[in-house]
């Protein structure tokens, strides 16, 4: 096969086309530039998320099941609201019966609290009132200070352990230990600081939590009887589903449910979270590919337009080439090649723009975040591949038109 | 003089018609042309404007196909050839020189001359060497890197001739090659054609200048799409 791929000539023709009509060419290429730019940045972000994810997942307690009034996976909200509360007594009953559990905890969580120290404050903090099992089920490590004593846990002592984010925001320069903070107005003395968990969702982790004794929380928020959360950590991660089954079995017993009755409690696990996250990144990439696809479509139509104009402007040249022996096929290749060069040019511009954006985003926006993005080589390659495909697909019709011109007519063309 | 037959001619046209359809109207550009050309002949085609000379040349050059009649090229009927085979004949067997030169404006002289060899699938090194030789033959080796707009009309036509000859075709077709040149430059080109003919090339030339036509050894006169006279002049 005679492959007419004179790169330099095609490149110079493509550049000439760009120079001849900069506005049109730029607009044309803009579609492709946006498309490739989007897919590259999305790729960078997805890669970063993925990385962070694996990091987060390892810190996630996927072997802990939470018995809760609410099911995390969603469901009928009104139905769940009418479920009976999870009672404190369930803890002892489960503890007495279960054989596949390593540890148990009981807690009440209050979302969306504010925490103040002097003139500083942090919003949307979780306040957890806990028992002694919390250390084990939550795998909480105390970095400074200490956890609560049994005496503190049984009484309603106004003490707390705070997460890393809260500590660093409220006490940027000094030690929080011994200081009194106000959790939604209620004063608590800081006796410990939890070790940093990090990861994507630090708002949902210990990092953003004020932990206090169970009774303290009840006193602070003034509700004696309310639904608690019981955490059950599996003995073995591999057999955690056995633990789940056992937990469900005894909970059914406690609730006196018949085998066919629906559960009137939730057994929650962070795996459910991960599924949600997967859905989110799936959605993100769908949107990304959609934007990319649309931009490439627009860019491709633009390329087709440029190529049609180019074929028309170069009708005589096509006639000359035919007269000296160009086959249809070689002309198709020539014009496809030019369309592809044009598209690749746009792709290269997109990558040249995306690269500094990833660097800047890392250095400016994400400098103190766990999310780090890198220039995604694989997505960049995918982007260039898509640019080439766009050039070929949308260059085809003009290229075929060029190849089918009648040589005599083409030579006559003024 | 030996009779022309499809078998002994490079080119043999047999009762060729070419009709253009202009809406409902039919324009008969050629109406029954029969003519043969032997190897190493030097033929001039003459006739008034609109008589069908260019139409005839385009048919001979395989740029166009007749509405009816047979065209034998080197003994083979062109009607049976497909698009690729026609392209190959245009590439390897026919050198075409136009009144308006028809060089690629963005390419320099060397690349213009090289291009037919690209389509012939010849390797870069050999291409450049042969293109350079062809330029040398027309006396323009020192203008190899000049673009067409940096060359005079005569020089452009010589580049076009180098391009036409670079594939060593069976036949050189020239449709008013001196039409856009002044008399002196035209004469230079004609002297060059004579040299080519002396070296064994077959040449068919369209002109409406008697002076130019008399460089050829045979003149075919066309009128209203028909051969009016066909005479050997020397
Ligand atoms: N593409 C076309 N469509 C319609 N009619 C055409 C076409 N090409 C040529 N003709 C007609 O065919 C006839 C012969 O044209 P041709 O170009 O062959 O003449 P010519 O002898 O080369 O003239 P000139 O000396 O002016 O170049 C003319 O009447 C012309 O109008
Ligand atoms: Mg003419």
Q: CB-CB: which of B83, B106, B119 is closest to A324?
A: B119
Measured from the Cβ of residue A22, the count of other Cβ atoms closer than 10 Å reads: 9
User: How far away is chain A from the Cα of B103, in angstroms, using its nearest Cα?
Assistant: 8
A181: CB partners within 8 A, 6+ apart: A115, A116, A117, A160, A162, A170, A187, A188, A190, A210
Task: Note the maximum CA span of chain A.
Answer: 102
Mean pLDDT (whole number) for B152-174: 94
pLDDT on residue A47: 85
Give the span between the Cα atoms of B135 and B162, in whole angstroms. Answer: 6
Mean pLDDT (whole number) for B193-212: 93
Mean pLDDT (whole number) for A56-62: 68
Beta-strand pair A186-194/A159-162: parallel
> Which secondary-structure segment (H or E) carries A296?
helix A270-313
pLDDT on residue B44: 97
Instruction: Find the angle CA(B74)-CA(B79)-CA(B84) to the nearest 5 degrees.
Output: 85
Level-2 CATH architecture, domain B39-68+89-232: 3-Layer(aba) Sandwich (3.40)
Would you say A210 and A125 are in contact if contact means Cβ atoms under 8 Å apart?
yes
- Tell whether the model's pLDDT for residue B143 goes beyond 70: yes
Would you call B9 helix, strand, or coil by DSSP? coil
- Give phi and psi for A195, each to the nearest 5: -70, 145
Give the span between the Cα atoms of A306 and A311, in whole angstroms. Answer: 9
* Neighbour order of strands in the sheet with B226-232: B94-97, B171-175, B202-206, B42-46, B218-223, B226-232
> Which secondary-structure segment (H or E) carries A217?
helix A214-221
Beta-strand pair A266-268/A64-68: antiparallel
Unique residue bearing structure tokens 């490739």:
A36
- Tell whether the model's pLDDT for residue A75 goes beyond 80: no
Query: A205: pLDDT confidence band, cut at 50, 70 and 90?
Result: confident
pLDDT on residue B231: 94
Nearest CA in chain B to A330: B119
Residue nearest to atom 28 of ligand 1 (CA): B50
Residue nearest to atom 11 of ligand 1 (CA): B29
- Tell whether the model's pLDDT for residue B31 goes beyond 80: yes
Lowest mean pLDDT across A53-67, A279-293, B10-24: A53-67
pLDDT on residue A2: 43
- Tell whether the model's pLDDT for residue A1 goes beyond 50: no
Mean pLDDT (whole number) for A165-183: 93
A380: CB partners within 8 A, 6+ apart: A40, A43, A351, A354
Query: A7: pLDDT confidence band, cut at 50, 70 and 90?
Result: low
Closest by Cα among A248, A245, A267 to A257: A248
Q: In 3-state terms, chain B is what percent helix, strand and coil (to 5)?
A: 35, 30, 35
CA–centroid distance, B28 to ligand 2, in Å, is: 15
What is the Cα A290 distance to its own chain's centre? 17
Query: B47: pLDDT confidence band, cut at 50, 70 and 90?
Result: very high
CA–centroid distance, A178 to ligand 1, in Å, is: 105
Measured from the Cβ of residue A300, the count of other Cβ atoms closer than 10 Å reads: 24
Instruction: Find the angle CA(A101)-CA(A146)-CA(A138) to the nearest 5 degrees.
Output: 30
- Give phi and psi for A190, each to the nearest 5: -80, 120
Lowest mean pLDDT across A133-137, A197-201, A271-275, B110-114: A197-201
Measured from the Cβ of residue B190, the count of other Cβ atoms closer than 10 Å reads: 22
First to last CA, chain B: 13
Mean pLDDT (whole number) for B19-31: 94
pLDDT on residue A368: 67
pLDDT on residue A269: 87
Give the span between the Cα atoms of B19 and B31, in whole angstroms. Answer: 8
CA–centroid distance, B70 to ligand 1, in Å, is: 20
Lowest mean pLDDT across A55-59, A110-114, B139-143: A55-59
The ipTM value here is: 0.95
For residue range A300-351, list pLDDT tens digits in order.
Answer: 998 898 889 889 988 999 999 999 999 999 899 888 988 888 888 899 999 9
Report the predicted TM-score, pTM, of the whole model to 2 decimal places.
Answer: 0.75
- Are the beta carbons of A330 and B119 separated by less than 8 Å? yes
Would you say A137 and A240 are in contact if contact means Cβ atoms under 8 Å apart?
no
**Which atom of ligand 1 has the smallest separation from the CA of B48?**
25
| Between residues A79 and B84, the one the model is more confident about | B84
Mean pLDDT (whole number) for A144-150: 93
Mean pLDDT (whole number) for B22-36: 94
Q: List the helix and strand counts (H, then E) for chain A.
A: 14, 10
In chain B, where the domains are located: 39-68+89-232
């Amino acid at each position: 096969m005679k492959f007419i791929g004179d790169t330099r000539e095609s490149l110079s023709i493509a550049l000439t086309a760009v120079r001849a009509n900069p506005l049109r060419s730029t607009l044309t290429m803009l579609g492709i530039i946006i498309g490739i730019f989007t897919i590259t940045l999305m790729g960078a972000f997805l890669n970063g998320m993925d990385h962070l994810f694996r990091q987060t997942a390892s810190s996630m307690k996927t072997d802990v099941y939470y018995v809760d009034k609410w099911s995390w996976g969603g469901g009928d909200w009104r139905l769940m609201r009418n479920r009976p509360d999870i009672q404190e007594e369930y803890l002892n009953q489960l503890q007495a019966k279960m054989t596949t559990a390593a540890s148990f905890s009981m807690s009440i969580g209050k979302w969306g609290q504010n925490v103040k120290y002097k003139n500083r404050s942090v919003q949307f903090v979780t306040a957890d009132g806990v028992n002694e099992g919390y250390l084990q089920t939550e795998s909480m490590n105390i970095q400074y200070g200490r956890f609560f004593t049994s005496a503190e846990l049984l009484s309603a002592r106004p003490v707390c352990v705070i997460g890393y984010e809260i500590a660093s925001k409220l006490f940027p320069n000094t030690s929080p230990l011994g200081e009194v903070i106000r959790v939604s107005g209620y004063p608590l003395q800081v006796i410990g600081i939890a070790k940093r968990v990090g990861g994507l969702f630090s708002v949902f982790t210990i990092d953003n939590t004020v932990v206090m004794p169970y009774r303290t929380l009840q006193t602070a928020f003034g509700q004696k009887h309310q639904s608690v959360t019981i955490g059950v950590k599996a003995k073995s991660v591999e057999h955690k589903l056995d633990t789940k089954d056992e937990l469900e079995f005894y909970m059914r017993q406690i609730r006196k449910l018949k085998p066919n009755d629906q559960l009137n409690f939730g057994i929650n696990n962070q795996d459910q979270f991960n599924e949600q996250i997967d859905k989110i990144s799936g959605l993100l990439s769908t949107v990304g590919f959609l934007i990319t696809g649309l931009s490439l479509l627009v860019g491709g139509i633009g390329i087709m337009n440029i190529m049609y104009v180019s074929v028309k402007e170069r009708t005589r040249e096509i006639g000359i080439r035919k007269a000296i022996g160009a086959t249809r096929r070689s002309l198709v290749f020539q014009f496809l090649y030019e369309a592809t060069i044009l598209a690749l040019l746009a792709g290269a511009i997109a990558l040249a723009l995306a690269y500094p954006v990833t660097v800047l985003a890392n250095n400016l926006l994400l400098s103190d975040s766990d999310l780090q993005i890198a220039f995604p080589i694989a997505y960049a390659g995918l982007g260039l591949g898509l640019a080439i495909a766009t050039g070929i697909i949308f260059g085809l019709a003009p290229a075929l038109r060029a190849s089918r011109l009648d040589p005599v007519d083409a030579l006559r063309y003024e | 003089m030996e009779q022309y037959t499809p078998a002994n001619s490079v080119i043999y046209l047999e009762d060729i018609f070419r009709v253009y359809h202009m809406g409902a109207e039919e324009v008969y550009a050629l109406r029954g042309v029969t003519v043969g050309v032997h190897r190493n002949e030097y033929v001039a085609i003459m006739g008034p404007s609109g008589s069908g000379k260019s139409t005839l040349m385009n048919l001979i050059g395989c740029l166009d196909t007749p509405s009816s009649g047979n065209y034998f090229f080197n003994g083979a009927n062109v009607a049976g050839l497909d698009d690729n085979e026609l392209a190959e004949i245009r590439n390897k067997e026919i050198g075409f020189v136009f009144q308006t030169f028809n060089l690629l404006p963005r390419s320099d002289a060397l690349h213009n001359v090289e291009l037919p060899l690209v389509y012939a699938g010849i390797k870069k090194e050999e291409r450049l060497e042969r293109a350079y030789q062809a330029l040398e033959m027309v006396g323009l080796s020192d203008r190899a890197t000049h673009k067409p707009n940096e060359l005079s009309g005569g020089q452009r036509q010589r580049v076009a001739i180098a391009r036409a000859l670079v594939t060593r075709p069976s036949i050189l077709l020239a449709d008013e090659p001196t039409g856009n040149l002044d008399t002196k430059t035209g004469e230079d080109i004609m002297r060059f054609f004579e040299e080519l003919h002396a070296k064994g090339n077959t040449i068919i030339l369209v002109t409406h200048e008697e002076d130019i036509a008399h460089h050829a050894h045979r003149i075919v006169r066309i009128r209203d799409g028909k051969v009016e006279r066909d005479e050997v002049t020397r």
